[in-house]
Structure 1
Amino acid sequence: MKRRKILVKVIGITLLSAITIRAFSQEQQTNYESKLSPKFGIKGGINLSNLHADDVDDEHMKVGANFGVYAKLPVTTGFSIQPEVLYSMKGAQLNYNNALMGSGKYRFNLNYVEVPVLAVFNVAKNFNIHAGGYAAYLASVKVKDVDNEGNVNHVDELNKDNFQSFDYGLIGGIGFDISNVTLGARYNYGLKEIGKSGTFAGEVANNAKNSAVSIYVGFAF
């Protein structure tokens, strides 16, 4: 709960700062453009994902991919709206240790079709900060049980029906534009529990939510 409040404050401060400096910002134009123009492109990168919950201390980062399409729609000099459609692989590894099951870890592989919508503030000609939110649909789930000897077992009790079909959350990040190439990094903070209440997934995930750092490269046309 504290981390959520801190994240909301940080995003609020970021937006306030961006609005303050917006009058001094420049639209990210390539060297052959003379006016504001929308851009459309493709992007892809990696997710360093995890799960966050007040009572979970043993989660571990998982590496996945993200890729899709985006548009950058200028509203005025220095300010654009950027909608995206992405396929995003999230999840985590959670340790367990009990008398019944022994010790090991669950590997959660949660694959989403994700739609972020971002406000992009260009604080310099080739640098932006962006913030907004996302909504996502859970396309597929794969959960593995890895014991302390490295044996991998499929977990029948943890299937897609045990997880929430939709997720949503907040996003904040930075981007660098070099001609029509964009390099960026952002933090995705989920606001919805991934497991359905009263299911095995809800118990195992301990009311956890998605969390991910995304690093990406985009190519505009």
Structure 2
Amino acid sequence: MIENTAKLNTMKNATGSFRKLFLLAALTGSLTAAMAQEQQTTSETSLQPKFGIRGGVNLSNLYVDDVKDENMKVGLNVGVFAKFPITKGFSIQPELAYSSKGAKLTYDNILGDGEYRFNLNYVELPVLAVFNLGKNFNIHAGPYAALLTSANIKRLDHETGDVDNIKDLDTDNFKRFDFGLVGGIGFDIENFTLGARYNYGLNEIGDGGLAGEATKNSKNSAFTFYIGIGF
């Protein structure tokens, strides 16, 4: 009786192991099949390079240790991109974009209700590795480098909607170069693409002067939502 029970347990363990192996093999096969799909339109029969334009918005902030969203502001993000297929399911995508980052400070007092926007405007170059997890879906990640072109403070009046330029800041007070990491997802519908990504700055933005000293330990952080078209 004990011997039969031992044999039964052994068979159950073996069956369980085979099930695990089968599930693992099925999962691996499915992932491999998904990764083997390339993003291409119905008119394309092979992998082809693409060039395009895209535009969207940044929801940006500055952080020291933890990223908090209470000072998040809206900024512009527009540019061009190129997508070079390496194999089925994998492409390299360099981009060149104008990207407005920074933060905001809201106020509500006897003078009114509004916000001050601290804008750092960059020419940005991300280089992304794009992994296609289906014919219309991808994940992408990579580094970015950026050059600061201008900095300013603007005021938005919530009651009237007016935007006033308060002060143009000296770019010499800030680090001219920024760099960091990018990661996100994209959806491709024929030649159109929709995407969302997160930009995580690794370089402190402040350098000298009053404005630079005030932001010396801060780094850029931004969520980007965009739409693009490829050719």
TM over 0.5: yes
Matched position secondary structure for 1:200: helix
- In structure 2, C-alpha distance between the alignment counterparts of 1:116 and 1:153, rounded to whole Å: 29
Name the CA distance, whole Å, in 1 between partners of 2:180 and 2:73: 19
Shift of 1:187: 0.1
Matched, 1:28 2:39: yes
Maintained 8 Å contact 2:193/2:228: yes
Range with bigger deviation, 54-63 or 179-188: 54-63
Find 1:173's aligned residue among 181, 184, 192: 184
* 1: CA distance, partners of 2:218 / 2:128: 25
Q: Which runs of 5+ in 1 are unaligned?
A: 1-19, 97-103, 147-151
Q: Larger Cα Rg: Structure 1 or Structure 2? A: 2
Task: Choose the corresponding residue for 2:166, options 144, 147, 154.
Answer: 154
Equivalent-residue separation in structure 1 for 2:79 and 2:139 (angstroms): 20
5+ residue gaps, structure 2, are 1-29, 108-113, 157-163
Aligned length: 191
Tell me the distance in 1 between the aligned counterparts of 2:215 and 2:120.
12
Task: Name the structure 2 match of 1:129.
Answer: 139
Matches of 2:178 and 2:33 in 1, distance apart?
A: 35
* Aligned amino acid, residue 38 of structure 1: P
The answer on 1:62 being equivalent to 2:73 is: yes
Runs of 4+ in 1 over 4 A off after TM superposition: 55-59
Mapped to 2, the partners of 1:43 and 1:131 lie a distance apart of 17
Listed one character per residue, the Cα deviations across residues 9-32 of structure 1 (whole Å, up to 9, x for unaligned) are xxxxxxxxxxx9455321001011
What amino acid does structure 1 have at the position aligned with 2:82?
Answer: A
Is 1:41 the counterpart of 2:52? The answer is yes
Structure with the bigger percentage of helix:
2
Distance 1:153 1:186, change over 3 A: closer
- CA 1:218–1:201 in structure 2 vs 1: closer, same or farther (change >3 Å)? same
